[in-house]
Structure 1
C-alpha cells in the first residue's frame, strides 16, 4: 500500500504540474516541445520551459537526499545511448513524446494523442513480449 500512495502522490503532482503549466503559460508541458523551446539560448532564464525542465532534473536529486531509492540499471552505457536515440527518433516521428501525448494530449481529449498513446503502449507491450519470450532476455 505504501508504494501505491507514493505512486498516487507522484501522479497527482505530475497532473497538477501539467495543468498548472498549461494554465499559466498557455503551452503544453510535453518534454520534447519544451526542449525545442530552450534550444535557442537567448533569454533562457526567462523561459518557463527552462525552469520546468530544470525542476525535472533537480528534484530527483533532492528526493534522493531524503529517501534512498534502490535503482539498479542492468544495461550498458551503449544500450542506454541507443535507447535514447531511438526514443528521440520516435519522438520526432510521432510529433511528440509520451508525456506530451499521454498526459497532456489525453487530458485534452485529443484524438491524435489518444491514437499516438495507444500505439506507444502497443509497441511497448510487443517489445516486452519479443524480448522476454522470443529472444529470451530479461526477467
Structure 2
C-alpha cells in the first residue's frame, strides 16, 4: 500500500477509534447503572460473581485499549501512524484525567461515608468505573476536536 493510502487509512481508523472509545465508555457507564440498580454488588450468587468478573474484564480491556491506543489489531504499517505525537499527548492527558477522577471519586466516597454506609466493594467499583470511563471520554473528545480543527 502506498504511503498516502496508509495515511488515509490511519486517519480513518483514528477517527473511528475516537468515536468507538466514546461509545464504549457510555455503554460501560450505562451497564454499571443497570448493574448497580439491581443491587448486584450485595449478592453472593454465581450469577453475581460472573457479573462482577465480567465487569472487571471489561474495565481491564478498556484500559488496555486506551493504554495501547486500541490499534493492536491493526497492521504494523498503520500502528505508528495511529500513535503520532498528538495522539500520545491526548492519551497522557486522558490518563491524567482518569487519575484525578479516581481521586475525586475516592474523596467523594470518603466524605459520603459518615452519612451513607459504603462498602469496600461499592467504593472500589465506583472508583474503577469512573476511572475507566473518564479517560476514554476525554481521549475521545480530544481526538475528535483535533480532527475537527484540522
Normalising TM by the smaller chain, what interval? 0.3 to 0.5
So what's the TM-score if we normalise by structure 1?
0.35
So what's the TM-score if we normalise by structure 2?
0.33
| Larger RCO (CA under 8 A, 6+ residues apart) | 2
